[in-house]
Amino acid sequence: MKVDEALVRRIAHLARIKVEDADVEHLKGELTSILGFVDLLSEVDTDDVEPMTSAVDRCMKPRPDVVNDGGYADDIVGNAPVKDDHYFMVPKVVE
């Protein structure tokens, strides 16, 4: 794929990157070489490769789906300047 100036500016716009006019030519070459490398990947034979979701073949440990409060509410509000029964008390800021 040939990268032109308009494509470089479009990619820079989408990435929210400011590109100076002097850098456009250099970036055209860089992007062309990157896309050339990606094209090489299509030549790899992957017919006998099974799809995978992880590099490590192991399952997640099942755990019971139980709703609880964590059991450490006192620790969470322990450093709060003002608290009331496991709740943070904050000053009113909106009338």
Read off the pLDDT of residues 8-43 as tens digits, 9 standing for 90 and up.
999 999 999 999 999 999 999 999 999 999 999 889
Residue 49 exposed, middle or buried by CB count within 10 Å (0-12, 13-18, 19+): exposed
Question: Which three-class secondary structure state does DSSP give residue 4?
Answer: coil
Question: Which three-class secondary structure state does DSSP give residue 57?
Answer: coil
The answer to whether the beta carbons of residues 38 and 72 sit under 8 Å apart is no
With cut-offs at 50, 70 and 90, classify the pLDDT of residue 58.
Answer: confident
What is the dihedral sign for C-alpha 54, 57, 63, 69?
Answer: negative
- What CATH number was assigned to the domain covering residues 5-41? 1.10.20
Distance CA 89, CA 95 (A): 17
Q: What residue ranges do the domains of the chain occupy?
A: 5-41
